[in-house]
């Protein structure tokens, strides 16, 4: 591109040439307008350069934002996976504890039932031995006292048979 100074030249003179003042005046106008255009062009090129730099910065920021969004999504997915794994572990532990508690309760219930059966058998054996003792005493002493024991034993035997 021509610079404004390139227009300042000395023309050779000829016998039938143009009027020197008209040429100088025209060249001065052209130089002046060209100087304005040259300065405007220079300013616009600088503005384009500044805008390109700004665009690059914004593109870098945009990429940073996109990277941050991707990282956020990845982190959210990892947190969700970790929460799911943790909740599964807690649920499994709760199920295991519940199974242990149920097994212990069933074992205790079975122990209570065995104790009850043992108690009933012992009570029955005690009642039977008491009954035999009373019968033996009745045979040995047929008296009024024996009749009272026999009535009590009959009442107790009847209560036991009703409970079974």
Instruction: Count the helices and strands in the chain (H runs, E runs).
Output: 2, 0
Structure tokens at 2: 């021509």
pLDDT of 142 above 60: no
Quickly state the pLDDT bin for 143 (edges 50, 70, 90).
low
Q: What is the pLDDT of residue 153?
A: 73
CB of 4 within 8 A of CB of 35? Answer: yes
Least confident of 7-11, 71-75, 79-83: 7-11
Contacts with 4 (C-beta within 8 Å, 6 or more apart), sequence order: 31, 34, 35, 38
Quickly state the pLDDT bin for 135 (edges 50, 70, 90).
confident
- As a whole number of angstroms, the distance between CA 82 and CA 24 comes to 85
Q: What mean pLDDT is predicted for residues 131-151?
A: 68
* Domain chopping of the chain, boundaries: 19-163
pLDDT by residue (tens digit) across 28-54? 888 888 888 889 999 999 999 999 999
pTM of the entire predicted model: 0.43
For 15, list phi and psi in degrees, rounded to 5. -70, -45
Q: What is the pLDDT of residue 136?
A: 78
Least confident of 24-33, 116-125, 135-144: 135-144
Look-up of token digits 């794994």: 85
Q: What mean pLDDT is predicted for residues 109-118?
A: 94
């Amino acid at each position: 591109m021509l610079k404004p100074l390139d227009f300042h030249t000395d023309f050779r003179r000829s016998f039938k040439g143009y009027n020197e003042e008209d040429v100088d005046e025209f060249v001065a106008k052209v130089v002046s307008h060209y100087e304005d255009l040259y300065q405007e062009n220079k300013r616009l090129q600088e503005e384009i350069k500044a805008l390109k730099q700004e665009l690059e910065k914004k593109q870098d920021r945009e990429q940073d934002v996109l990277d941050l969004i991707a990282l956020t999504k990845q982190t959210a997915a990892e947190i969700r996976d970790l929460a799911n794994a943790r909740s599964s572990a807690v649920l499994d532990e709760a199920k295991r504890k519940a199974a242990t508690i149920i097994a212990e309760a069933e074992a205790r219930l079975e122990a209570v039932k065995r104790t009850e059966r043992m108690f009933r058998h012992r009570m029955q054996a005690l009642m039977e031995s008491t009954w035999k003792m009373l019968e033996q005493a009745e045979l040995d002493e047929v008296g009024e006292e024996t009749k009272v024991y026999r009535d009590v034993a009959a009442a107790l035997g009847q209560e036991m048979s009703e409970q079974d």
